[in-house]
């Protein structure tokens, strides 16, 4: 199999939005080494992804002590340094104005693909463990809530009142920052499996919006603190209500 190298320093949700491109490369005979931030490795997000061979860590430009621009230049320099040892190399900088991150990944690299379906990779043993956990702890169902976003405070929303007034009286599994299930498992794929079992899902813009998109799960509310339609779920039929900048727009 041929080897590809791809630079993608973006967050976990964005990496899920990269899955169509990784699959495209795989279907064209490549396995990919991904230049990515440390959280992609520590979360185990891609541990069972058949399209990725190795993760090569680069700094997150938004949190680099060098500053954003200098870190971007260093990351791009690393891509250029390693590229000659690969059969194909590319990356997505996501600069300028655009409306769709998934399509942008292809466009920036001169690639074209109509299969834009997202994927997440949850091994069977994790699915089985979480199924047992939910069966024992929440036999009558639960509400999955993730509206306090640790690194993107602009999307924070206290959804407790809305949930109380609009959803059944079920236990709330809060995976948001400081919630009762915040980082319950180091391996984020456990939380991906958890969201599958929820009776209702109330989610701010985060990795879990894209998990639901990939798994074809309905979302009761998708909350965006600021307008950012390039990261809306592709299938709008999955989203019952959208809240943007404090206003209901769907």
Q: How far is CA 91 from the centre of its chain?
A: 17
Q: Determine contact, residues 221/246, Cβ cutoff 8 Å.
A: no
Provide the pLDDT for residue 82.
98
Tell me how far apart the alpha carbons of residues 131 and 125 are, in angstroms, rounded to a whole number: 10
- Check whether domain 2-107 has CATH 3.30.450.40, yes or no: no
Per domain, the residue ranges of the chain are: 2-107, 124-248
Triad 14, 10, 16: Cα angle to 5° = 25
Provide the pLDDT for residue 153.
82
Tokens of 162: 């809305």
pLDDT in tens, 70-118: 999 999 999 999 999 999 999 998 877 777 899 999 999 999 999 999 9
Extract the residue ranges of the chain whose pLDDT is less than 50.
none
Determine the straight-line distance between the first and last CA of the chain, rounded to whole angstroms: 46
Nearest to 83 by CA among 111, 104, 56: 56
pLDDT in tens, 129-146: 999 999 999 999 999 999
């Amino acid at each position: 199999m041929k080897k590809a190298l791809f630079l993608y320093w973006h967050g976990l949700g964005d990496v899920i939005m990269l899955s169509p491109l990784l699959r495209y490369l795989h279907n064209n005979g490549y396995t990919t080494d991904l230049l990515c931030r440390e959280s992609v490795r520590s979360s185990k997000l891609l541990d069972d992804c058949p399209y990725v061979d190795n993760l090569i860590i680069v700094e997150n430009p938004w949190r680099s002590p060098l500053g954003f621009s200098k870190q971007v230049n260093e990351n791009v320099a690393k891509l250029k340094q390693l590229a000659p040892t690969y059969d194909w190399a590319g990356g997505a900088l996501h600069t300028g104005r655009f409306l769709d991150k998934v399509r942008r990944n292809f466009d920036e690299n001169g690639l074209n693909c109509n299969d834009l379906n997202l994927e997440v990779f949850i091994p069977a043993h994790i699915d089985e463990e979480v199924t047992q956990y939910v069966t024992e702890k929440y036999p009558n169902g639960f509400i999955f809530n993730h509206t306090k976003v640790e690194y993107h405070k602009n999307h924070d929303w206290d959804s407790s009142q809305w949930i109380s007034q609009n959803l059944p009286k079920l236990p709330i599994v809060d995976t948001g920052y400081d919630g009762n299930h915040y980082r319950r498992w180091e391996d984020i794929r456990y939380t991906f499996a958890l969201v599958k079992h929820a009776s209702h899902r109330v989610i701010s813009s985060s990795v879990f919006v894209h998990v639901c998109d990939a798994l074809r799960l309905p979302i009761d509310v998708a909350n965006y603190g600021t307008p950012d339609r390039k990261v809306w779920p592709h299938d709008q039929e999955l989203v019952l209500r959208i809240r943007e900048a404090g206003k209901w727009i769907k």
